[in-house]
Amino acid sequence: MRSDYAVVGKRIPKLDAPDKVTGRTTYADDLKMSGLLAGAIKRSPYPHARILSVDASAAEAVPGVYAVVHAGNVTQRPFGYGHDNIPLKDRVVRCVGDEVAAVAAVDAATAQSALDLISVEYELLPAVDDPFEALQPGAPRIHDELDIEGNVSMEWNFQTGDLAEAERRSAVIVSGSYSSPQAAPAPIETHVVIAGFDADGHLEVISPVHMVFMYRKELADCLGLDWRRVTVRQPPVGGSFGGKIDIDAHDFIAVMLARAAGRPVKLAMSREEEFTGTRTRQPIHFRLRTGAAADGTLQFRHAEVVSDNGAYNAWGSHALLVAMNTVTSMYRVGTSRLAAKVVYTNKNYGGSVRGFGNPQATFAVEQQMEELADALGMDPMDLRLKNANRPGDVTPQGLEITSCGLSECLETVRRKSGWDQRRGRMRSQHRGLGAAAYVHVGGGARIYGSDGCGAMIKIDDSGRVALISGSSELGQGSETALAMTGAETLGVPLEAVSVSHDDTDVKPWDVGVHASRTTFVAGNAARMAAAKARDELLEGAAEVLDRPARSLTIRDGVISVPGEPTATLRYEKAVRRRLLREGSSIIMTSAFYDPPT
């Protein structure tokens, strides 16, 4: 790293840390507003059942109840990837926790009392909670309205090389099955959404969601709203781990309740609902075979993969694409065959939990690497080093590896862990020593045509720099990283920069926060916008200092001429000079960065 940076590379405390550790941060559940009602959702107690009737009359009569909604009295359209879900279920429930009706009342206790009075008559249907059983002929159809084969939501097949020939070349072949369990992200802050309409029918939603612009459009599409008249504000997030990346049924239901009640409504998930009514990390099952030559060179990897999707599709259904990359590309393996299926089951459905399919796949691949090393009589670290990807490699799926420190990383782990001295020598203490590698996308993952983010810079006459970013702060420190980037590029003190990124009416477009992309993508957008603002600053200073703008430098807020100690100007004065001169103009710039990968 360059040593002449003034801000970047320094130990800077997170800008939001003081408020968080002193309890001053206001999360969504802390927000107060006039007329705010409490919402509650009636959920299915059954994994699979037909809804015969919903009677909400008793609930509607409870004093303090402002709205009761169910599929029979709302307008809604399908949502989700493949549009296989609706907010309030109208015909069939497909998992425990499915949303059937909802209430808005003066307080949570009243809402719950009314909820208990809603009568729902069900006809139980056969349920299946095992994806392999769901694949069998005659298994219960979970989505009989969809034109799909059985319960297979989607599938991918990939092959490169001659598998039969690679098997013949292999001195050792190992096979095994590896499964990962369903897991909930369980952030400290449960899901909370607040929705309300103003007198002109403009909708405002407060939600700690990652992909805010996609969220806004999905709300409008599902509920028949004009999305130009929808504003989404993002409060500080009390933990997500991918669980809040997408839109859920309760987001739509909050809007339905607000529209029916004529007052703002807050829906806050209970801890139990966080496990039954929100997205989880989906179980993925791998049947894996790997072959190697006698010297440990990998010859092939053959995988059959089944993802337990749960009842509906969401972005989590595409976790298999990342899992496929791990299977084929974590190590050099010239021949690969992979068949992957996403299977519906009667369970709550998978989302984009951190790692997005990679933890499940890495467990399978690295466990089998250990078994392969045992079969070869080879040290597992040597096996990994022999097959480690190197700069310039192209993986079977076409990933071009430009830089890669895997071998160096493994060697460092070997040296610093005392691998050669300790491995296999601690069994009397019931202890062992192992290692695993990991390959994952970083700095973005192009799930749309654009993976870009916008940024704007505005400098006012006091010298305050407002950096408005399309990105979202989830607690990962992006606010601090962007402020540092803006301050370094502009050449101003860090305390002069404030970052805003929480209002769709103000901030520029961004595809959303995922895949460790914010520092790289949003950071580059901030850097580009700041560079433009810096040029405008120096243009104003050039008039005062009577020097060409290209000859000026700026550091710590001081604009100077190299070699002339007395030729200096504070950047705030350069701003005011630009504002107060004849033909004045403000300093306000913008940039959009879409990575080339």
Mean pLDDT of 521-547: 94
Q: What is the pLDDT of residues 345-358, one digit of tens each?
A: 999 988 888 888 88
Q: What is the pLDDT of residues 389-426, one digit of tens each?
A: 999 998 888 888 888 899 999 999 999 999 999 888 88
Q: At what angle do helices 523-545 and 571-580 cross, to 10 degrees?
A: 70
Report phi then psi at 250, rounded to 5.
-65, -25
List % helix, strand, coil for the chain (3-state, nearest 5).
30, 25, 45
- Give the span between the Cα atoms of 36 and 106, in whole angstroms: 8
- Here the tokens at position 367 are 């466990």
Residue 115's pLDDT band, with cuts at 50, 70 and 90, is: very high
Residue 446: pLDDT above 90? Answer: no
Q: What is the pLDDT of residues 224-274, one digit of tens each?
A: 999 999 999 999 999 888 888 889 999 999 999 999 999 999 999 999 999
Domains in the chain (CATH in brackets) are 31-126+188-239+244-273 (3.90.1170.50), 147-184+280-429 (3.30.365.10), 453-593 (3.30.365.10)
Contact 433, 423 (CB under 8 A): yes
Q: What is the pLDDT of residues 5-37, one digit of tens each?
A: 999 999 999 999 999 999 999 999 999 999 999
Contact 192, 241 (CB under 8 A): no
Q: Compute CA distances 328 → 270, 290, 296, 340, 535, whole Å.
A: 40, 11, 17, 13, 47
**What is the predicted pLDDT for the residue at 1?**
58
- Give the span between the Cα atoms of 157 and 337, in whole angstroms: 8
List the one residue out of 302, 312, 298 whose CA is nearest residue 345.
Answer: 312
- Give the span between the Cα atoms of 480 and 315, in whole angstroms: 29
Eight-class DSSP state of 88? S
Contact 139, 125 (CB under 8 A): no
**What is the predicted pLDDT for the residue at 411?**
96
Report phi then psi at 419, rounded to 5.
-55, -55
**What is the predicted pLDDT for the residue at 444?**
64
